[in-house]
Amino acid sequence: MFNKKIIFLGLVSSLFFLGCSDSKPTDPDREDLSSSSNTGSSSSVSSSSSIDNDIPEGAKRATLDDLSKNMNLGTLLGADAYLTVGEKGLFSLWFFVKGETTEDKSHGWIVVQSDFKDGIIQINKDAAVPAFDSSPVGDAIQDMVKKSAYISFIVKNDSTVHYSVNGGDYVKASAVQLIASSGYVSKASVLENQEITCEEEDNSSLSIEFFSDGRFVRKNTDGSASTWSAGLYDVHRSVLFLVPTYYFGATNSLYKFKVENSTLNLDSLSCSKKSIETTIWKKKDIAKAWVALDSLNWTFILNESGSFSLKADRQTVAKEAKTGTWDQFGSYLALTVNTCLDPKTCSAATIGKVVDLDEVGFIYNHSDKTKPLIPTVWDLAELDE
Protein backbone atom coordinates (compact mmCIF):
# COMPACT_ATOMS: atom_id res chain seq x y z
CA MET A 1 0.00 0.00 0.00
CA PHE A 2 2.82 2.38 0.87
CA ASN A 3 6.55 2.35 0.36
CA LYS A 4 7.68 2.48 3.97
CA LYS A 5 11.26 1.48 3.42
CA ILE A 6 13.51 3.81 5.37
CA ILE A 7 17.21 3.71 4.67
CA PHE A 8 19.30 5.70 7.10
CA LEU A 9 18.75 9.43 6.50
CA GLY A 10 16.20 9.18 3.68
CA LEU A 11 12.59 10.11 4.26
CA VAL A 12 10.03 8.13 2.31
CA SER A 13 7.61 9.82 -0.02
CA SER A 14 4.27 8.34 1.01
CA LEU A 15 4.81 7.63 4.72
CA PHE A 16 6.05 10.63 6.61
CA PHE A 17 8.09 11.04 9.78
CA LEU A 18 8.02 14.03 12.10
CA GLY A 19 11.06 15.44 13.81
CA CYS A 20 13.94 15.05 11.37
CA SER A 21 16.80 16.76 13.18
CA ASP A 22 20.22 18.08 12.31
CA SER A 23 22.76 18.90 14.98
CA LYS A 24 24.87 20.60 12.25
CA PRO A 25 28.20 19.60 13.78
CA THR A 26 29.85 19.54 10.37
CA ASP A 27 29.33 23.28 9.98
CA PRO A 28 32.13 25.00 11.91
CA ASP A 29 30.53 28.41 11.36
CA ARG A 30 27.21 27.76 13.07
CA GLU A 31 26.33 30.46 15.59
CA ASP A 32 23.69 28.89 17.82
CA LEU A 33 24.01 25.72 19.87
CA SER A 34 21.08 26.44 22.15
CA SER A 35 18.03 25.48 20.07
CA SER A 36 16.62 21.97 20.41
CA SER A 37 17.32 21.09 16.78
CA ASN A 38 21.01 21.84 17.18
CA THR A 39 21.90 20.38 20.54
CA GLY A 40 22.35 16.79 19.51
CA SER A 41 19.70 15.55 21.92
CA SER A 42 16.05 14.89 21.20
CA SER A 43 13.59 12.53 22.85
CA SER A 44 12.89 12.12 26.54
CA VAL A 45 10.87 9.63 28.55
CA SER A 46 7.43 10.94 29.45
CA SER A 47 6.00 10.76 32.94
CA SER A 48 2.42 10.68 34.14
CA SER A 49 3.01 12.90 37.18
CA SER A 50 1.06 15.86 35.74
CA ILE A 51 -2.10 13.88 34.89
CA ASP A 52 -5.02 13.63 37.28
CA ASN A 53 -6.99 10.64 36.09
CA ASP A 54 -9.52 8.97 38.37
CA ILE A 55 -10.16 5.29 37.79
CA PRO A 56 -13.38 3.30 38.29
CA GLU A 57 -14.11 1.91 41.73
CA GLY A 58 -12.69 -1.56 42.22
CA ALA A 59 -10.11 -1.20 39.45
CA LYS A 60 -6.36 -0.78 39.80
CA ARG A 61 -3.84 0.99 37.62
CA ALA A 62 -2.12 -1.41 35.26
CA THR A 63 1.53 -2.33 35.46
CA LEU A 64 3.70 -3.72 32.69
CA ASP A 65 3.05 -7.21 34.05
CA ASP A 66 -0.65 -6.75 33.29
CA LEU A 67 -0.06 -6.05 29.61
CA SER A 68 0.54 -8.59 26.87
CA LYS A 69 3.19 -7.97 24.22
CA ASN A 70 0.48 -7.28 21.64
CA MET A 71 -2.96 -5.93 22.50
CA ASN A 72 -6.04 -5.18 20.42
CA LEU A 73 -7.42 -1.74 21.31
CA GLY A 74 -10.44 -1.95 19.03
CA THR A 75 -11.25 1.18 17.02
CA LEU A 76 -9.11 4.25 17.66
CA LEU A 77 -8.65 7.27 15.36
CA GLY A 78 -10.98 5.60 12.89
CA ALA A 79 -8.74 2.56 12.42
CA ASP A 80 -8.16 -0.87 13.92
CA ALA A 81 -5.61 -0.07 16.62
CA TYR A 82 -3.07 -2.30 18.35
CA LEU A 83 -0.53 -1.71 21.10
CA THR A 84 2.87 -3.41 21.19
CA VAL A 85 4.91 -3.49 24.39
CA GLY A 86 8.58 -4.02 23.63
CA GLU A 87 11.28 -5.81 25.60
CA LYS A 88 13.44 -2.70 25.83
CA GLY A 89 11.03 -0.04 27.08
CA LEU A 90 9.45 1.28 23.90
CA PHE A 91 5.74 1.17 23.14
CA SER A 92 4.14 1.44 19.72
CA LEU A 93 0.58 2.10 18.57
CA TRP A 94 -0.34 0.68 15.16
CA PHE A 95 -3.29 1.82 13.05
CA PHE A 96 -4.56 -0.50 10.32
CA VAL A 97 -7.15 -0.40 7.60
CA LYS A 98 -10.33 -1.96 8.95
CA GLY A 99 -10.03 -5.74 9.06
CA GLU A 100 -6.30 -5.75 8.25
CA THR A 101 -3.27 -6.41 10.44
CA THR A 102 -0.26 -6.40 8.08
CA GLU A 103 2.22 -3.58 7.80
CA ASP A 104 1.46 -2.89 4.14
CA LYS A 105 -2.16 -2.21 5.14
CA SER A 106 -1.33 0.20 7.94
CA HIS A 107 -2.09 3.91 8.08
CA GLY A 108 0.96 4.39 10.29
CA TRP A 109 2.16 4.05 13.85
CA ILE A 110 3.46 5.96 16.85
CA VAL A 111 6.58 4.87 18.74
CA VAL A 112 6.63 6.13 22.33
CA GLN A 113 9.15 6.27 25.15
CA SER A 114 7.35 5.95 28.47
CA ASP A 115 8.04 4.89 32.04
CA PHE A 116 4.41 3.66 32.22
CA LYS A 117 4.08 5.26 35.63
CA ASP A 118 0.56 4.83 37.04
CA GLY A 119 -0.34 2.78 33.96
CA ILE A 120 -0.20 5.81 31.68
CA ILE A 121 1.47 6.36 28.30
CA GLN A 122 1.89 10.02 27.44
CA ILE A 123 2.04 10.89 23.77
CA ASN A 124 3.67 14.19 22.89
CA LYS A 125 6.39 15.64 20.70
CA ASP A 126 9.06 15.09 23.36
CA ALA A 127 8.45 11.36 23.76
CA ALA A 128 6.66 10.10 20.64
CA VAL A 129 7.54 9.77 16.96
CA PRO A 130 4.73 9.20 14.44
CA ALA A 131 4.74 7.77 10.96
CA PHE A 132 1.61 8.33 8.90
CA ASP A 133 0.07 8.18 5.45
CA SER A 134 -1.98 10.89 3.71
CA SER A 135 -5.39 9.55 4.79
CA PRO A 136 -7.69 11.06 7.46
CA VAL A 137 -6.36 8.41 9.85
CA GLY A 138 -2.84 9.57 9.05
CA ASP A 139 -3.87 13.14 9.85
CA ALA A 140 -5.31 11.96 13.16
CA ILE A 141 -2.07 10.13 14.01
CA GLN A 142 -0.10 13.30 13.39
CA ASP A 143 -2.54 15.41 15.42
CA MET A 144 -2.41 13.01 18.37
CA VAL A 145 1.32 13.70 18.74
CA LYS A 146 1.19 17.41 17.90
CA LYS A 147 -1.66 18.16 20.31
CA SER A 148 -0.55 15.61 22.94
CA ALA A 149 -2.61 12.82 24.44
CA TYR A 150 -2.43 10.24 27.17
CA ILE A 151 -3.67 6.68 27.38
CA SER A 152 -4.50 5.25 30.80
CA PHE A 153 -4.61 1.49 31.39
CA ILE A 154 -6.44 -0.18 34.27
CA VAL A 155 -7.23 -3.70 35.38
CA LYS A 156 -10.80 -4.32 36.54
CA ASN A 157 -11.68 -6.78 39.29
CA ASP A 158 -12.42 -9.44 36.67
CA SER A 159 -8.73 -9.20 35.59
CA THR A 160 -9.58 -7.64 32.20
CA VAL A 161 -7.47 -4.74 30.92
CA HIS A 162 -9.21 -1.54 29.83
CA TYR A 163 -7.87 1.75 28.47
CA SER A 164 -9.00 5.34 28.25
CA VAL A 165 -7.81 8.16 25.97
CA ASN A 166 -7.54 11.61 27.54
CA GLY A 167 -9.78 10.69 30.46
CA GLY A 168 -12.64 9.37 28.32
CA ASP A 169 -14.62 6.18 28.76
CA TYR A 170 -12.70 2.99 29.41
CA VAL A 171 -12.68 0.43 26.60
CA LYS A 172 -11.64 -3.21 26.87
CA ALA A 173 -8.26 -4.18 25.44
CA SER A 174 -7.57 -7.82 24.65
CA ALA A 175 -4.36 -9.78 24.24
CA VAL A 176 -3.59 -11.07 20.75
CA GLN A 177 -1.05 -13.57 19.52
CA LEU A 178 0.77 -12.69 16.32
CA ILE A 179 2.69 -15.03 14.06
CA ALA A 180 6.22 -13.67 13.73
CA SER A 181 7.36 -12.77 10.22
CA SER A 182 9.16 -15.80 8.86
CA GLY A 183 12.92 -15.31 8.54
CA TYR A 184 13.04 -12.04 10.50
CA VAL A 185 14.09 -11.14 14.04
CA SER A 186 11.05 -10.83 16.30
CA LYS A 187 12.74 -10.31 19.68
CA ALA A 188 15.08 -7.50 20.65
CA SER A 189 17.12 -9.85 22.83
CA VAL A 190 18.48 -11.51 19.66
CA LEU A 191 20.40 -8.29 18.94
CA GLU A 192 21.99 -7.88 22.37
CA ASN A 193 25.79 -7.58 22.32
CA GLN A 194 25.88 -7.70 18.53
CA GLU A 195 27.46 -5.28 16.07
CA ILE A 196 26.07 -5.11 12.56
CA THR A 197 28.15 -3.50 9.79
CA CYS A 198 26.66 -2.79 6.37
CA GLU A 199 28.35 -1.48 3.24
CA GLU A 200 26.46 0.92 1.01
CA GLU A 201 27.13 2.60 -2.29
CA ASP A 202 29.68 5.40 -2.79
CA ASN A 203 32.09 4.15 -0.11
CA SER A 204 29.57 4.71 2.68
CA SER A 205 29.02 2.29 5.54
CA LEU A 206 26.85 1.84 8.58
CA SER A 207 27.52 0.07 11.86
CA ILE A 208 25.19 -0.42 14.81
CA GLU A 209 26.15 -1.73 18.23
CA PHE A 210 23.30 -3.15 20.33
CA PHE A 211 23.61 -3.29 24.10
CA SER A 212 21.70 -5.29 26.69
CA ASP A 213 20.37 -2.11 28.33
CA GLY A 214 18.18 -1.41 25.30
CA ARG A 215 20.54 1.24 23.95
CA PHE A 216 22.34 1.41 20.61
CA VAL A 217 25.15 3.38 19.00
CA ARG A 218 25.05 3.85 15.23
CA LYS A 219 27.97 5.18 13.18
CA ASN A 220 27.79 6.28 9.57
CA THR A 221 30.75 6.94 7.29
CA ASP A 222 30.26 8.61 3.92
CA GLY A 223 33.64 9.24 2.33
CA SER A 224 35.54 11.49 4.73
CA ALA A 225 32.43 12.53 6.66
CA SER A 226 31.33 10.66 9.78
CA THR A 227 28.15 10.95 11.80
CA TRP A 228 26.71 9.05 14.72
CA SER A 229 23.56 8.66 16.74
CA ALA A 230 22.72 6.89 19.97
CA GLY A 231 19.40 6.04 21.51
CA LEU A 232 16.88 3.31 22.22
CA TYR A 233 16.04 0.21 20.20
CA ASP A 234 13.29 -2.37 20.27
CA VAL A 235 11.66 -4.93 17.99
CA HIS A 236 7.88 -4.66 17.52
CA ARG A 237 5.87 -6.86 15.17
CA SER A 238 9.16 -8.11 13.63
CA VAL A 239 10.25 -4.52 12.93
CA LEU A 240 13.41 -3.04 14.44
CA PHE A 241 12.91 0.53 15.65
CA LEU A 242 15.84 2.85 16.38
CA VAL A 243 15.00 6.06 18.25
CA PRO A 244 18.02 8.40 18.36
CA THR A 245 18.22 10.66 21.40
CA TYR A 246 21.81 11.93 21.02
CA TYR A 247 23.42 12.53 17.64
CA PHE A 248 26.15 14.21 15.60
CA GLY A 249 25.00 15.11 12.10
CA ALA A 250 21.61 14.94 10.43
CA THR A 251 19.32 12.22 11.73
CA ASN A 252 15.71 11.12 11.60
CA SER A 253 13.75 10.82 14.83
CA LEU A 254 12.94 7.21 13.94
CA TYR A 255 14.45 4.45 11.82
CA LYS A 256 12.88 1.09 11.04
CA PHE A 257 14.32 -2.06 9.54
CA LYS A 258 13.45 -5.68 8.92
CA VAL A 259 16.34 -7.78 10.25
CA GLU A 260 17.05 -11.21 8.79
CA ASN A 261 17.30 -13.94 11.40
CA SER A 262 20.41 -15.78 10.24
CA THR A 263 22.51 -12.96 8.82
CA LEU A 264 21.12 -9.91 10.65
CA ASN A 265 21.02 -8.15 7.27
CA LEU A 266 19.08 -4.88 7.46
CA ASP A 267 16.35 -4.69 4.82
CA SER A 268 18.05 -5.25 1.45
CA LEU A 269 21.53 -4.34 2.68
CA SER A 270 24.26 -6.94 2.88
CA CYS A 271 25.70 -6.84 6.37
CA SER A 272 28.17 -8.67 8.57
CA LYS A 273 27.71 -9.38 12.26
CA LYS A 274 29.97 -10.03 15.19
CA SER A 275 29.54 -10.50 18.91
CA ILE A 276 30.91 -7.72 21.10
CA GLU A 277 32.01 -7.72 24.70
CA THR A 278 30.89 -4.65 26.60
CA THR A 279 31.19 -3.37 30.12
CA ILE A 280 28.07 -1.42 31.03
CA TRP A 281 29.21 0.83 33.84
CA LYS A 282 26.89 2.36 36.39
CA LYS A 283 25.85 5.98 36.02
CA LYS A 284 26.35 6.68 39.70
CA ASP A 285 30.00 5.66 39.39
CA ILE A 286 30.75 8.36 36.81
CA ALA A 287 28.44 11.09 38.12
CA LYS A 288 31.24 12.88 39.97
CA ALA A 289 33.82 15.63 39.54
CA TRP A 290 36.93 14.72 37.51
CA VAL A 291 40.14 16.54 36.64
CA ALA A 292 42.83 16.26 33.97
CA LEU A 293 46.07 18.09 33.27
CA ASP A 294 47.82 18.62 29.92
CA SER A 295 48.73 22.09 28.74
CA LEU A 296 45.48 23.15 30.42
CA ASN A 297 43.80 22.53 33.74
CA TRP A 298 40.55 20.65 33.08
CA THR A 299 37.50 20.07 35.28
CA PHE A 300 34.73 17.73 34.14
CA ILE A 301 31.60 17.55 36.32
CA LEU A 302 28.96 14.95 35.49
CA ASN A 303 25.84 15.49 37.58
CA GLU A 304 23.37 12.75 38.49
CA SER A 305 20.61 14.94 37.03
CA GLY A 306 22.10 14.41 33.55
CA SER A 307 23.77 17.80 33.15
CA PHE A 308 27.50 18.38 32.79
CA SER A 309 30.10 21.13 32.75
CA LEU A 310 33.53 20.93 31.15
CA LYS A 311 36.01 23.72 31.81
CA ALA A 312 39.64 24.35 30.92
CA ASP A 313 41.93 27.22 31.88
CA ARG A 314 45.56 28.27 31.77
CA GLN A 315 46.71 30.50 34.59
CA THR A 316 43.11 31.51 35.38
CA VAL A 317 42.40 32.39 31.71
CA ALA A 318 39.41 30.42 30.43
CA LYS A 319 40.16 28.32 27.33
CA GLU A 320 36.98 26.23 27.27
CA ALA A 321 33.65 26.25 29.11
CA LYS A 322 31.00 23.78 27.93
CA THR A 323 27.69 22.93 29.51
CA GLY A 324 25.03 20.49 28.37
CA THR A 325 23.53 17.08 29.02
CA TRP A 326 24.98 13.58 29.14
CA ASP A 327 23.70 10.01 28.93
CA GLN A 328 24.96 6.45 28.82
CA PHE A 329 24.55 4.09 25.87
CA GLY A 330 26.01 0.72 26.74
CA SER A 331 29.71 1.36 27.30
CA TYR A 332 29.52 4.80 25.65
CA LEU A 333 29.25 8.26 27.22
CA ALA A 334 27.48 10.80 25.01
CA LEU A 335 27.53 14.56 25.51
CA THR A 336 25.27 17.21 24.03
CA VAL A 337 26.61 20.77 24.21
CA ASN A 338 24.17 23.59 24.92
CA THR A 339 26.71 26.37 25.52
CA CYS A 340 30.44 26.72 24.99
CA LEU A 341 33.15 29.34 25.01
CA ASP A 342 33.34 29.64 21.20
CA PRO A 343 30.16 28.43 19.42
CA LYS A 344 31.88 28.84 16.04
CA THR A 345 34.37 26.07 16.71
CA CYS A 346 33.10 23.74 19.43
CA SER A 347 31.38 20.49 18.57
CA ALA A 348 27.64 20.15 19.22
CA ALA A 349 27.97 16.57 20.48
CA THR A 350 30.60 14.05 21.52
CA ILE A 351 30.55 10.30 22.06
CA GLY A 352 33.16 7.85 23.26
CA LYS A 353 33.75 4.64 25.15
CA VAL A 354 34.42 4.77 28.86
CA VAL A 355 37.20 2.34 29.76
CA ASP A 356 38.67 1.27 33.09
CA LEU A 357 36.20 3.24 35.21
CA ASP A 358 36.98 2.79 38.89
CA GLU A 359 36.95 4.83 42.09
CA VAL A 360 39.86 7.03 41.08
CA GLY A 361 39.58 7.58 37.32
CA PHE A 362 38.60 6.47 33.83
CA ILE A 363 39.64 6.69 30.20
CA TYR A 364 37.35 8.43 27.72
CA ASN A 365 38.13 7.42 24.12
CA HIS A 366 35.98 10.03 22.41
CA SER A 367 35.24 11.35 18.93
CA ASP A 368 35.72 15.10 19.47
CA LYS A 369 38.58 16.47 17.35
CA THR A 370 37.92 20.17 17.98
CA LYS A 371 40.44 22.24 19.92
CA PRO A 372 41.23 22.42 22.72
CA LEU A 373 41.14 18.63 22.63
CA ILE A 374 39.24 17.01 25.47
CA PRO A 375 41.62 14.79 27.48
CA THR A 376 41.13 11.05 27.46
CA VAL A 377 42.52 10.29 30.94
CA TRP A 378 40.55 11.61 33.91
CA ASP A 379 41.23 11.42 37.64
CA LEU A 380 38.82 11.84 40.51
CA ALA A 381 38.84 15.42 41.78
CA GLU A 382 39.93 16.01 45.35
CA LEU A 383 37.12 17.78 47.16
CA ASP A 384 37.70 20.38 49.87
CA GLU A 385 35.26 19.02 52.43
Residue 42 confidence (pLDDT):
58
Q: Are residues 271 and 287 in the same domain?
A: no
Q: Are residues 144 and 55 in the same domain?
A: yes
Residue 163 domain-assigned (yes or no):
yes
* 3-state secondary structure string across 197-220: EEECCCCEEEEEEECCCCEEEEEE
User: Domain ends where: 275, 304, 326?
Assistant: 275
pTM (predicted TM-score): 0.85
Residue 13 confidence (pLDDT):
28
**CATH code for position 308:** 2.40.128.280
**Count of Cβ atoms closer than 10 Å to residue 199 Cβ:** 12
Helix (H, G, I), strand (E, B) or coil at 136: helix
Q: Distance (Å, rounded) from C-alpha 225 to C-alpha 222? A: 5
Residue 41 confidence (pLDDT):
63
Q: Distance (Å, rounded) from C-alpha 248 to C-alpha 229? A: 6
Domain range for 72: 40-175
User: At a CB cut-off of 8 Å and minimum separation 6, what does 93 contact?
Assistant: 73, 76, 81, 82, 83, 109, 110, 112, 123
Q: Are residues 169 and 65 in the same domain?
A: yes
User: Domain ends where: 211, 246, 275?
Assistant: 275
Q: Identify whether the C-beta of residue 32 lies closer than 8 Å to the C-beta of residue 23.
A: no
Q: Are residues 163 and 198 in the same domain?
A: no
What digits encode the pLDDT tens for the residues 44-82? Answer: 555 454 565 688 899 999 999 999 999 999 999 999 999
What digits encode the pLDDT tens for the residues 202-261? Answer: 778 999 999 999 999 999 988 777 899 999 999 999 999 999 999 999 888 899 999 999
Q: Distance (Å, rounded) from C-alpha 146 to C-alpha 353? A: 36
Q: Distance (Å, rounded) from C-alpha 140 to C-alpha 101? A: 19
Residues of the chain with pLDDT under 50: 1-39, 43, 47, 49
Q: Are residues 261 and 332 in the same domain?
A: no
Residue 2 confidence (pLDDT):
36
Residue 52 confidence (pLDDT):
54
Residue 20 confidence (pLDDT):
39
Residue 45 confidence (pLDDT):
53
Residue 179 confidence (pLDDT):
87
Q: Are residues 58 and 116 in the same domain?
A: yes
Per the DSSP assignment, residues forming a β-bridge with 111 are 92, 129
